[in-house]
Chain A
Protein backbone atom coordinates (compact mmCIF):
# COMPACT_ATOMS: atom_id res chain seq x y z
CA UNK A 1 0.00 0.00 0.00
CA UNK A 2 2.67 2.49 1.03
CA UNK A 3 4.72 1.58 -2.06
CA UNK A 4 1.68 2.23 -4.19
CA UNK A 5 1.23 5.67 -2.66
CA UNK A 6 4.90 6.51 -3.10
CA UNK A 7 4.95 5.43 -6.73
CA UNK A 8 1.79 7.30 -7.62
CA UNK A 9 3.21 10.34 -5.81
CA UNK A 10 6.48 10.14 -7.71
CA UNK A 11 4.58 9.69 -10.97
CA UNK A 12 2.57 12.87 -10.57
CA UNK A 13 5.66 14.53 -9.08
CA UNK A 14 7.54 13.78 -12.31
CA UNK A 15 4.80 15.43 -14.33
CA UNK A 16 4.82 18.53 -12.12
CA UNK A 17 8.61 18.54 -12.30
CA UNK A 18 8.60 18.44 -16.09
CA UNK A 19 6.14 21.32 -16.32
CA UNK A 20 7.95 23.17 -13.52
CA UNK A 21 11.18 22.68 -15.40
CA UNK A 22 9.58 24.38 -18.40
CA UNK A 23 8.60 27.32 -16.18
CA UNK A 24 12.15 27.53 -14.82
CA UNK A 25 13.70 27.43 -18.30
CA UNK A 26 11.62 30.27 -19.67
CA UNK A 27 11.90 32.24 -16.44
CA UNK A 28 15.67 31.89 -16.52
CA UNK A 29 16.06 33.17 -20.03
CA UNK A 30 13.45 35.91 -19.97
CA UNK A 31 12.48 36.58 -16.31
CA UNK A 32 8.85 35.89 -17.16
CA UNK A 33 6.49 33.25 -15.84
CA UNK A 34 4.95 31.50 -18.79
CA UNK A 35 1.40 30.81 -17.71
CA UNK A 36 0.76 29.11 -21.05
CA UNK A 37 3.18 26.35 -19.96
CA UNK A 38 0.37 24.00 -18.92
CA UNK A 39 -1.27 24.45 -22.31
CA UNK A 40 1.89 23.10 -23.95
CA UNK A 41 1.28 19.91 -21.96
CA UNK A 42 -2.40 19.81 -22.94
CA UNK A 43 -1.65 20.46 -26.62
CA UNK A 44 1.09 17.80 -26.53
CA UNK A 45 -1.41 15.25 -25.25
CA UNK A 46 -4.05 16.35 -27.80
CA UNK A 47 -1.61 16.10 -30.69
CA UNK A 48 -0.64 12.64 -29.53
CA UNK A 49 -4.34 11.70 -29.46
CA UNK A 50 -4.70 12.93 -33.03
CA UNK A 51 -1.51 11.12 -34.04
CA UNK A 52 -2.29 7.73 -32.53
CA UNK A 53 -6.10 7.56 -32.54
CA UNK A 54 -7.16 9.68 -35.52
CA UNK A 55 -4.20 9.26 -37.88
CA UNK A 56 -3.25 5.83 -36.50
CA UNK A 57 0.45 6.61 -36.57
CA UNK A 58 2.92 4.41 -34.67
CA UNK A 59 3.48 5.53 -31.06
CA UNK A 60 7.03 6.82 -31.64
CA UNK A 61 6.15 8.77 -34.80
CA UNK A 62 3.17 10.40 -33.10
CA UNK A 63 5.27 11.24 -30.02
CA UNK A 64 7.92 12.82 -32.20
CA UNK A 65 5.34 14.82 -34.17
CA UNK A 66 3.72 16.01 -30.99
CA UNK A 67 7.04 17.22 -29.49
CA UNK A 68 8.03 19.01 -32.69
CA UNK A 69 4.61 20.66 -33.09
CA UNK A 70 4.55 21.93 -29.52
CA UNK A 71 8.14 23.15 -29.77
CA UNK A 72 7.00 25.17 -32.78
CA UNK A 73 4.00 26.45 -30.86
CA UNK A 74 6.40 27.58 -28.13
CA UNK A 75 8.54 29.43 -30.68
CA UNK A 76 5.40 31.07 -32.02
CA UNK A 77 4.46 32.16 -28.49
CA UNK A 78 7.88 33.76 -28.05
CA UNK A 79 7.48 35.59 -31.35
CA UNK A 80 3.86 36.69 -30.78
CA UNK A 81 3.47 37.08 -27.04
CA UNK A 82 6.88 38.23 -25.87
CA UNK A 83 9.17 39.65 -28.50
CA UNK A 84 6.84 42.40 -29.80
CA UNK A 85 6.18 43.53 -26.22
CA UNK A 86 9.84 43.46 -25.30
CA UNK A 87 10.67 45.63 -28.31
CA UNK A 88 8.12 48.19 -27.16
CA UNK A 89 9.64 48.15 -23.68
CA UNK A 90 6.59 46.56 -21.99
CA UNK A 91 6.89 45.54 -18.35
CA UNK A 92 7.12 41.94 -17.14
CA UNK A 93 3.54 42.21 -15.84
CA UNK A 94 2.26 42.98 -19.33
CA UNK A 95 4.17 40.03 -20.75
CA UNK A 96 2.62 37.75 -18.13
CA UNK A 97 -0.79 39.09 -19.18
CA UNK A 98 0.11 38.27 -22.75
CA UNK A 99 0.97 34.68 -21.73
CA UNK A 100 -2.29 34.34 -19.83
CA UNK A 101 -4.21 35.56 -22.90
CA UNK A 102 -2.52 32.95 -25.05
CA UNK A 103 -3.19 30.27 -22.47
CA UNK A 104 -6.92 31.04 -22.58
CA UNK A 105 -6.90 31.16 -26.37
CA UNK A 106 -5.20 27.73 -26.52
CA UNK A 107 -7.60 26.19 -24.04
CA UNK A 108 -10.66 27.38 -25.92
CA UNK A 109 -9.20 26.59 -29.31
CA UNK A 110 -8.51 23.05 -28.10
CA UNK A 111 -12.11 22.78 -26.98
CA UNK A 112 -13.26 23.81 -30.47
CA UNK A 113 -10.90 21.37 -32.21
CA UNK A 114 -11.03 18.32 -29.93
CA UNK A 115 -14.38 18.82 -28.18
CA UNK A 116 -15.39 19.11 -24.55
CA UNK A 117 -15.27 15.48 -23.55
CA UNK A 118 -12.24 13.69 -22.14
CA UNK A 119 -10.39 11.59 -24.70
CA UNK A 120 -8.57 8.35 -24.07
CA UNK A 121 -5.03 7.77 -25.27
CA UNK A 122 -3.06 4.56 -25.12
CA UNK A 123 -0.24 4.13 -22.67
CA UNK A 124 3.21 2.98 -23.57
CA UNK A 125 2.60 -0.55 -22.24
CA UNK A 126 -0.28 -2.77 -23.29
CA UNK A 127 -0.76 -4.18 -19.80
CA UNK A 128 -2.38 -1.57 -17.57
CA UNK A 129 -1.43 -2.74 -14.11
CA UNK A 130 1.25 -5.02 -12.77
CA UNK A 131 1.74 -6.36 -9.30
CA UNK A 132 4.73 -5.73 -7.12
CA UNK A 133 4.46 -7.65 -3.86
CA UNK A 134 0.96 -6.90 -2.68
CA UNK A 135 0.76 -3.51 -4.38
CA UNK A 136 -0.59 -3.00 -7.83
CA UNK A 137 1.29 -0.41 -9.84
CA UNK A 138 -0.02 1.42 -12.88
CA UNK A 139 2.31 0.45 -15.70
CA UNK A 140 2.09 3.96 -17.14
CA UNK A 141 3.91 5.15 -14.00
CA UNK A 142 7.01 3.45 -15.35
CA UNK A 143 6.64 5.34 -18.63
CA UNK A 144 6.17 8.65 -16.80
CA UNK A 145 9.15 8.16 -14.51
CA UNK A 146 11.24 6.88 -17.41
CA UNK A 147 10.33 9.88 -19.61
CA UNK A 148 11.11 12.28 -16.77
CA UNK A 149 14.46 10.67 -15.98
CA UNK A 150 15.54 10.52 -19.63
CA UNK A 151 14.48 14.09 -20.43
CA UNK A 152 16.05 15.45 -17.24
CA UNK A 153 19.27 13.59 -17.98
CA UNK A 154 19.38 14.97 -21.53
CA UNK A 155 18.73 18.49 -20.32
CA UNK A 156 21.34 18.14 -17.56
CA UNK A 157 23.87 16.94 -20.11
CA UNK A 158 22.96 19.77 -22.47
CA UNK A 159 23.27 22.45 -19.80
CA UNK A 160 26.40 21.31 -18.04
CA UNK A 161 28.42 19.54 -20.72
CA UNK A 162 27.87 21.41 -23.96
CA UNK A 163 29.12 24.88 -24.89
CA UNK A 164 25.70 25.69 -26.33
CA UNK A 165 23.96 24.83 -23.05
CA UNK A 166 26.52 26.80 -21.06
CA UNK A 167 25.98 29.78 -23.33
CA UNK A 168 22.23 29.50 -22.78
CA UNK A 169 22.61 29.68 -19.00
CA UNK A 170 25.19 32.45 -19.38
CA UNK A 171 22.78 34.59 -21.38
CA UNK A 172 20.26 34.20 -18.57
CA UNK A 173 22.85 35.32 -15.96
CA UNK A 174 24.11 38.31 -17.86
CA UNK A 175 22.74 39.07 -21.34
CA UNK A 176 25.15 41.93 -22.01
CA UNK A 177 28.21 39.81 -21.24
CA UNK A 178 26.77 36.96 -23.28
CA UNK A 179 26.43 39.28 -26.29
CA UNK A 180 30.04 40.28 -25.81
CA UNK A 181 31.05 36.61 -25.74
CA UNK A 182 29.46 36.22 -29.16
CA UNK A 183 26.30 34.51 -27.91
CA UNK A 184 23.10 35.10 -29.86
CA UNK A 185 20.93 35.92 -26.85
CA UNK A 186 17.61 36.04 -28.74
CA UNK A 187 18.47 32.63 -30.20
CA UNK A 188 19.04 31.35 -26.68
CA UNK A 189 15.65 32.64 -25.52
CA UNK A 190 14.01 30.88 -28.47
CA UNK A 191 15.94 27.71 -27.62
CA UNK A 192 14.64 27.76 -24.05
CA UNK A 193 11.08 28.08 -25.36
CA UNK A 194 11.70 25.10 -27.66
CA UNK A 195 13.03 23.00 -24.78
CA UNK A 196 10.25 24.06 -22.42
CA UNK A 197 7.61 23.33 -25.06
CA UNK A 198 9.00 19.91 -25.94
CA UNK A 199 9.49 18.80 -22.32
CA UNK A 200 5.94 19.84 -21.39
CA UNK A 201 4.53 18.12 -24.48
CA UNK A 202 6.36 14.94 -23.45
CA UNK A 203 4.80 15.29 -20.00
CA UNK A 204 1.40 15.56 -21.71
CA UNK A 205 1.94 12.44 -23.79
CA UNK A 206 2.91 10.33 -20.78
CA UNK A 207 0.34 11.71 -18.35
CA UNK A 208 -2.52 11.40 -20.87
CA UNK A 209 -3.28 7.72 -20.21
CA UNK A 210 -3.45 8.44 -16.44
CA UNK A 211 -5.40 11.69 -16.36
CA UNK A 212 -7.43 11.40 -19.59
CA UNK A 213 -6.98 14.17 -22.09
CA UNK A 214 -9.16 17.22 -22.23
CA UNK A 215 -8.79 20.93 -22.84
CA UNK A 216 -8.78 21.79 -19.15
CA UNK A 217 -5.90 19.56 -17.95
CA UNK A 218 -3.48 22.26 -19.13
CA UNK A 219 -4.67 24.73 -16.55
CA UNK A 220 -4.73 22.22 -13.72
CA UNK A 221 -1.32 20.65 -14.36
CA UNK A 222 0.16 23.98 -15.45
CA UNK A 223 -0.70 25.58 -12.15
CA UNK A 224 0.82 22.61 -10.27
CA UNK A 225 3.94 22.92 -12.40
CA UNK A 226 4.07 26.59 -11.49
CA UNK A 227 3.77 25.57 -7.85
CA UNK A 228 6.66 23.12 -8.28
CA UNK A 229 8.84 25.79 -9.86
CA UNK A 230 8.00 28.31 -7.14
CA UNK A 231 8.55 25.82 -4.31
CA UNK A 232 11.92 24.86 -5.77
CA UNK A 233 12.91 28.46 -6.33
CA UNK A 234 11.85 30.24 -9.53
CA UNK A 235 14.55 29.88 -12.16
CA UNK A 236 16.25 26.86 -10.66
CA UNK A 237 15.68 23.78 -12.88
CA UNK A 238 16.90 21.40 -10.17
CA UNK A 239 14.66 23.22 -7.70
CA UNK A 240 11.69 22.62 -10.01
CA UNK A 241 12.41 18.87 -10.00
CA UNK A 242 12.66 18.79 -6.20
CA UNK A 243 9.56 20.97 -5.90
CA UNK A 244 7.62 18.73 -8.28
CA UNK A 245 8.52 15.50 -6.51
CA UNK A 246 7.79 17.01 -3.10
CA UNK A 247 4.41 18.24 -4.31
CA UNK A 248 3.54 14.90 -5.93
CA UNK A 249 4.45 12.87 -2.84
CA UNK A 250 2.68 15.13 -0.34
CA UNK A 251 -0.38 15.22 -2.56
CA UNK A 252 -0.46 11.42 -2.81
CA UNK A 253 -0.11 10.96 0.96
CA UNK A 254 -2.64 13.65 1.82
CA UNK A 255 -4.96 12.32 -0.90
CA UNK A 256 -5.07 8.91 0.78
CA UNK A 257 -5.31 10.07 4.39
CA UNK A 258 -7.48 13.16 3.90
CA UNK A 259 -9.12 13.45 0.49
CA UNK A 260 -8.10 13.90 -3.12
CA UNK A 261 -10.68 16.68 -3.36
CA UNK A 262 -8.24 18.92 -1.53
CA UNK A 263 -5.26 18.21 -3.78
CA UNK A 264 -5.08 21.62 -5.52
CA UNK A 265 -5.77 23.42 -2.25
CA UNK A 266 -3.02 21.38 -0.63
CA UNK A 267 -0.58 22.23 -3.41
CA UNK A 268 -1.05 25.92 -2.79
CA UNK A 269 -0.96 25.58 1.00
CA UNK A 270 2.38 23.79 0.59
CA UNK A 271 3.58 26.59 -1.67
CA UNK A 272 2.50 29.22 0.86
CA UNK A 273 4.24 27.39 3.71
CA UNK A 274 7.48 27.21 1.68
CA UNK A 275 7.19 30.88 0.77
CA UNK A 276 6.62 31.90 4.39
CA UNK A 277 9.66 29.98 5.57
CA UNK A 278 11.93 30.58 2.58
CA UNK A 279 10.55 33.23 0.22
CA UNK A 280 13.13 32.53 -2.49
CA UNK A 281 12.09 28.84 -2.65
CA UNK A 282 14.15 25.81 -1.74
CA UNK A 283 17.06 26.33 -4.16
CA UNK A 284 16.33 29.90 -5.21
CA UNK A 285 18.80 32.69 -4.70
CA UNK A 286 17.64 35.44 -2.38
CA UNK A 287 17.21 38.71 -4.20
CA UNK A 288 18.51 40.59 -1.18
Chain B
Protein backbone atom coordinates (compact mmCIF):
# COMPACT_ATOMS: atom_id res chain seq x y z
CA UNK B 1 0.00 0.00 0.00
CA UNK B 2 2.79 2.41 0.97
CA UNK B 3 6.27 2.12 -0.44
CA UNK B 4 8.96 4.57 0.67
CA UNK B 5 12.21 4.29 -1.27
CA UNK B 6 15.49 5.92 -0.33
CA UNK B 7 14.10 9.24 0.80
CA UNK B 8 16.36 12.01 1.97
CA UNK B 9 15.29 15.22 3.66
CA UNK B 10 17.10 18.25 4.97
CA UNK B 11 16.24 21.14 7.27
CA UNK B 12 18.38 24.03 6.07
CA UNK B 13 21.66 22.25 5.34
CA UNK B 14 21.28 19.54 7.96
CA UNK B 15 20.29 16.16 6.60
CA UNK B 16 17.66 14.44 8.69
CA UNK B 17 16.73 11.34 6.72
CA UNK B 18 19.66 9.75 4.92
CA UNK B 19 18.09 7.31 2.50
CA UNK B 20 15.21 5.65 4.32
CA UNK B 21 13.20 2.85 2.73
CA UNK B 22 10.19 1.21 4.29
CA UNK B 23 6.80 -0.17 3.36
CA UNK B 24 3.36 -0.78 4.80
CA UNK B 25 1.04 -3.47 3.44
CA UNK B 26 -2.73 -3.33 3.48
CA UNK B 27 -4.20 -4.29 6.84
CA UNK B 28 -0.84 -4.18 8.55
CA UNK B 29 0.16 -2.27 11.68
CA UNK B 30 3.71 -1.02 11.36
CA UNK B 31 5.68 0.93 13.94
CA UNK B 32 8.67 3.24 13.71
CA UNK B 33 10.71 3.35 16.87
CA UNK B 34 13.88 5.19 17.73
CA UNK B 35 15.29 7.89 19.95
CA UNK B 36 14.49 11.58 19.80
CA UNK B 37 15.97 13.08 16.66
CA UNK B 38 16.13 9.78 14.81
CA UNK B 39 13.84 11.21 12.11
CA UNK B 40 10.56 9.42 12.90
CA UNK B 41 8.37 12.53 12.76
CA UNK B 42 10.27 13.78 9.71
CA UNK B 43 9.49 10.53 7.93
CA UNK B 44 5.75 10.64 8.56
CA UNK B 45 5.65 14.35 7.70
CA UNK B 46 7.28 13.45 4.39
CA UNK B 47 4.62 10.79 3.83
CA UNK B 48 1.90 13.35 4.65
CA UNK B 49 3.46 15.82 2.22
CA UNK B 50 4.09 18.52 4.85
CA UNK B 51 7.78 18.18 4.18
CA UNK B 52 9.08 17.57 0.70
CA UNK B 53 11.93 15.05 0.42
CA UNK B 54 15.07 16.12 -1.46
CA UNK B 55 15.46 12.70 -3.02
CA UNK B 56 13.72 9.35 -3.20
CA UNK B 57 10.17 8.32 -3.86
CA UNK B 58 6.98 7.67 -1.91
CA UNK B 59 4.32 5.53 -3.55
CA UNK B 60 0.81 5.14 -2.21
CA UNK B 61 -1.37 2.53 -3.88
CA UNK B 62 0.86 2.68 -6.94
CA UNK B 63 0.86 6.49 -7.23
CA UNK B 64 3.91 8.67 -6.66
CA UNK B 65 3.04 11.18 -3.91
CA UNK B 66 6.39 12.67 -2.91
CA UNK B 67 5.54 15.96 -4.63
CA UNK B 68 1.78 16.04 -4.00
CA UNK B 69 0.34 18.84 -1.82
CA UNK B 70 -0.46 17.78 1.78
CA UNK B 71 -4.21 18.45 1.56
CA UNK B 72 -4.44 16.22 -1.50
CA UNK B 73 -2.57 13.44 0.28
CA UNK B 74 -5.08 13.64 3.13
CA UNK B 75 -7.91 13.43 0.61
CA UNK B 76 -6.29 10.33 -0.90
CA UNK B 77 -6.70 8.64 2.48
CA UNK B 78 -3.38 9.09 4.27
CA UNK B 79 -4.51 10.75 7.47
CA UNK B 80 -2.04 11.86 10.10
CA UNK B 81 -2.64 12.49 13.79
CA UNK B 82 0.37 14.69 14.60
CA UNK B 83 2.09 14.77 17.97
CA UNK B 84 1.29 17.26 20.70
CA UNK B 85 -2.21 18.67 20.82
CA UNK B 86 -3.41 18.24 17.26
CA UNK B 87 -6.79 19.91 17.57
CA UNK B 88 -8.27 23.35 16.87
CA UNK B 89 -8.36 24.76 20.41
CA UNK B 90 -10.71 27.66 19.63
CA UNK B 91 -13.30 25.38 18.07
CA UNK B 92 -15.75 23.25 20.00
CA UNK B 93 -15.37 19.47 20.10
CA UNK B 94 -18.23 19.11 17.59
CA UNK B 95 -16.67 21.68 15.24
CA UNK B 96 -13.37 19.81 15.43
CA UNK B 97 -15.08 16.57 14.44
CA UNK B 98 -16.77 18.38 11.58
CA UNK B 99 -13.36 19.65 10.46
CA UNK B 100 -12.26 16.02 10.57
CA UNK B 101 -14.95 15.21 8.02
CA UNK B 102 -13.77 18.04 5.74
CA UNK B 103 -11.96 15.82 3.20
CA UNK B 104 -15.04 13.64 2.67
CA UNK B 105 -18.16 15.59 3.61
CA UNK B 106 -19.04 16.38 0.01
CA UNK B 107 -18.56 12.80 -1.13
CA UNK B 108 -20.63 10.99 1.48
CA UNK B 109 -24.34 10.96 2.27
CA UNK B 110 -25.89 12.49 5.39
CA UNK B 111 -26.51 8.99 6.77
CA UNK B 112 -22.89 8.01 6.27
CA UNK B 113 -21.76 11.18 8.02
CA UNK B 114 -24.11 10.42 10.90
CA UNK B 115 -22.68 6.90 11.11
CA UNK B 116 -19.18 8.32 11.24
CA UNK B 117 -20.16 10.51 14.20
CA UNK B 118 -21.83 7.56 15.94
CA UNK B 119 -18.73 5.42 15.36
CA UNK B 120 -16.46 8.02 16.97
CA UNK B 121 -18.92 8.55 19.87
CA UNK B 122 -18.96 4.78 20.40
CA UNK B 123 -15.17 4.65 20.62
CA UNK B 124 -14.86 7.76 22.77
CA UNK B 125 -17.90 8.42 24.97
CA UNK B 126 -15.73 10.99 26.81
CA UNK B 127 -15.72 13.09 23.66
CA UNK B 128 -19.46 12.76 23.09
CA UNK B 129 -20.16 14.20 26.56
CA UNK B 130 -18.27 17.39 25.72
CA UNK B 131 -19.44 18.28 22.22
CA UNK B 132 -20.11 21.95 22.98
CA UNK B 133 -16.96 22.51 25.01
CA UNK B 134 -13.96 24.34 23.50
CA UNK B 135 -11.49 21.67 22.44
CA UNK B 136 -8.64 23.63 24.04
CA UNK B 137 -10.23 23.15 27.46
CA UNK B 138 -10.15 19.34 27.27
CA UNK B 139 -7.56 17.32 29.18
CA UNK B 140 -4.53 15.97 27.29
CA UNK B 141 -6.03 12.50 27.04
CA UNK B 142 -9.37 13.81 25.79
CA UNK B 143 -7.58 15.95 23.20
CA UNK B 144 -5.72 12.90 21.94
CA UNK B 145 -9.00 10.97 21.71
CA UNK B 146 -10.61 13.86 19.85
CA UNK B 147 -7.64 14.00 17.46
CA UNK B 148 -7.98 10.30 16.68
CA UNK B 149 -11.73 10.79 16.28
CA UNK B 150 -11.13 13.62 13.81
CA UNK B 151 -8.77 11.42 11.80
CA UNK B 152 -11.38 8.67 11.67
CA UNK B 153 -13.95 11.17 10.37
CA UNK B 154 -11.61 11.70 7.39
CA UNK B 155 -12.09 8.07 6.25
CA UNK B 156 -8.44 7.02 6.53
CA UNK B 157 -7.07 4.23 4.36
CA UNK B 158 -3.72 4.58 6.10
CA UNK B 159 -3.66 6.13 9.57
CA UNK B 160 -0.41 7.78 10.65
CA UNK B 161 -0.09 8.23 14.40
CA UNK B 162 2.72 10.36 15.83
CA UNK B 163 3.43 9.63 19.49
CA UNK B 164 -0.15 9.14 20.67
CA UNK B 165 1.11 8.25 24.17
CA UNK B 166 3.19 11.41 24.57
CA UNK B 167 2.65 13.14 27.91
CA UNK B 168 -0.29 10.98 28.94
CA UNK B 169 -0.83 9.14 32.24
CA UNK B 170 -0.40 5.34 31.92
CA UNK B 171 -4.11 4.73 32.40
CA UNK B 172 -4.92 7.02 29.46
CA UNK B 173 -2.22 5.44 27.33
CA UNK B 174 -3.93 2.09 27.95
CA UNK B 175 -7.26 3.64 27.02
CA UNK B 176 -5.89 5.03 23.74
CA UNK B 177 -4.22 1.75 22.80
CA UNK B 178 -7.36 -0.26 23.60
CA UNK B 179 -9.14 1.87 21.02
CA UNK B 180 -6.33 1.48 18.51
CA UNK B 181 -6.63 -2.28 19.05
CA UNK B 182 -10.31 -2.05 18.04
CA UNK B 183 -9.31 -0.20 14.86
CA UNK B 184 -6.59 -2.77 14.18
CA UNK B 185 -9.12 -5.60 14.55
CA UNK B 186 -11.35 -3.80 12.07
CA UNK B 187 -8.52 -4.09 9.56
CA UNK B 188 -7.38 -0.45 9.45
CA UNK B 189 -3.83 -0.02 8.20
CA UNK B 190 -1.76 1.92 10.73
CA UNK B 191 1.72 3.39 10.81
CA UNK B 192 2.60 4.21 14.41
CA UNK B 193 5.49 6.38 15.57
CA UNK B 194 6.33 5.80 19.21
CA UNK B 195 9.08 6.58 21.63
CA UNK B 196 7.64 4.03 24.01
CA UNK B 197 9.19 1.09 22.14
CA UNK B 198 7.81 -1.58 24.44
CA UNK B 199 4.27 -0.42 23.89
CA UNK B 200 4.75 -0.02 20.14
CA UNK B 201 6.34 -3.42 19.63
CA UNK B 202 3.55 -5.11 21.60
CA UNK B 203 0.89 -3.44 19.51
CA UNK B 204 2.30 -3.57 15.98
CA UNK B 205 2.90 -6.46 13.59
CA UNK B 206 6.12 -5.22 12.10
CA UNK B 207 8.63 -2.56 13.05
CA UNK B 208 11.47 -0.39 11.85
CA UNK B 209 14.16 0.97 14.13
CA UNK B 210 15.39 4.40 13.06
CA UNK B 211 18.66 5.87 14.25
CA UNK B 212 20.24 9.13 13.05
CA UNK B 213 18.15 9.18 9.90
CA UNK B 214 18.67 5.58 8.86
CA UNK B 215 16.80 2.33 9.26
CA UNK B 216 19.12 0.24 11.42
CA UNK B 217 16.81 -2.74 11.95
CA UNK B 218 13.52 -4.02 10.69
CA UNK B 219 11.36 -7.07 11.08
CA UNK B 220 8.58 -8.79 12.93
CA UNK B 221 7.82 -7.10 16.25
CA UNK B 222 8.28 -10.31 18.21
CA UNK B 223 11.73 -10.74 16.71
CA UNK B 224 12.67 -7.11 17.32
CA UNK B 225 11.47 -7.34 20.90
CA UNK B 226 13.70 -10.36 21.46
CA UNK B 227 16.81 -8.90 19.85
CA UNK B 228 19.67 -7.91 22.11
CA UNK B 229 20.30 -4.53 20.44
CA UNK B 230 16.71 -3.38 20.68
CA UNK B 231 16.39 -4.56 24.23
CA UNK B 232 19.49 -2.68 25.28
CA UNK B 233 19.05 0.49 23.29
CA UNK B 234 15.27 1.01 23.35
CA UNK B 235 13.64 -1.17 25.96
CA UNK B 236 16.06 -0.38 28.75
CA UNK B 237 16.48 -4.05 29.56
CA UNK B 238 20.19 -4.62 29.96
CA UNK B 239 21.15 -8.27 30.24
CA UNK B 240 17.80 -9.33 31.70
CA UNK B 241 16.03 -12.34 30.27
CA UNK B 242 12.76 -11.75 28.47
Contacts and interface: CB of A to CB of B under 8 A. Distances in A.
Contacts of A179: 48-50, 70-71, 74
Interface string B72-83: 001100011110
Contacts, number: 57
Contacts of B82: 176-177, 180
Interface in B82-126: 82, 86-91, 95, 98-100, 102-103, 105
A182 B88 contact: no
Interface stretch (A93-101, A104-112, A163-171, A264-272): A163-171
Interface residues of B, number: 27
A181 B154 contact: yes
Nearest to B105: A163
Contacts of A182: 71, 74-75, 102-103, 154
A177 B136 CA distance: 14
Contacts of B4: none
Q: Considering residues A167, A173, A174, A184, which has the most beta carbons from chain B within 10 angstroms of its beta carbon?
A: A174
A167 B71 CA distance: 12
Interface residues on A, range: 10 to 19
Interface of A: 163, 166-167, 170, 173-174, 176-185
A284 to B, nearest CB: 13
B17 interface: no
A176 B82 CA distance: 9
A83 to B, nearest CB: 14
Q: What is the interface of chain A mostly: helix, strand, loop, or mixed?
A: helix
B14 to A, nearest CB: 16
A174 B84 CA distance: 13
25 contacts: A163-B102, A166-B91, A166-B95, A167-B102, A170-B91, A170-B99, A173-B89, A173-B91, A174-B88, A176-B82, A177-B86, A177-B87, A180-B50, A180-B70, A180-B74, A180-B79, A180-B82, A181-B74, A181-B99, A181-B100, A181-B102, A182-B74, A182-B75, A182-B154, A183-B71
Contacts of B105: 163
Given A166-B91, A183-B71, 13 more contacts: A163-B98, A170-B99, A173-B90, A176-B50, A177-B86, A177-B88, A179-B49, A179-B70, A179-B71, A179-B74, A182-B102, A184-B69, A185-B71
A173 B86 contact: no
B150 interface: yes
Contacts of B48: 179-180
Contact of B71 (A163, A166, A174, A184): A184
Nearest to A184: B71
B13 to A, nearest CB: 14
Contacts of A181: 74, 99-100, 102-103, 150, 154
Nearest to B89: A173
A167 B82 CA distance: 18
Q: Considering residues B48, B75, B81, B88, which has the most beta carbons from chain A within 10 angstroms of its beta carbon?
A: B88
B18 to A, nearest CB: 24
Contacts of A184: 69, 71
A180 B91 contact: no
Nearest to B91: A170
Contacts of B71: 178-179, 182-185
Nearest to B104: A182
Contacts of B103: 181-182
Nearest to B95: A166
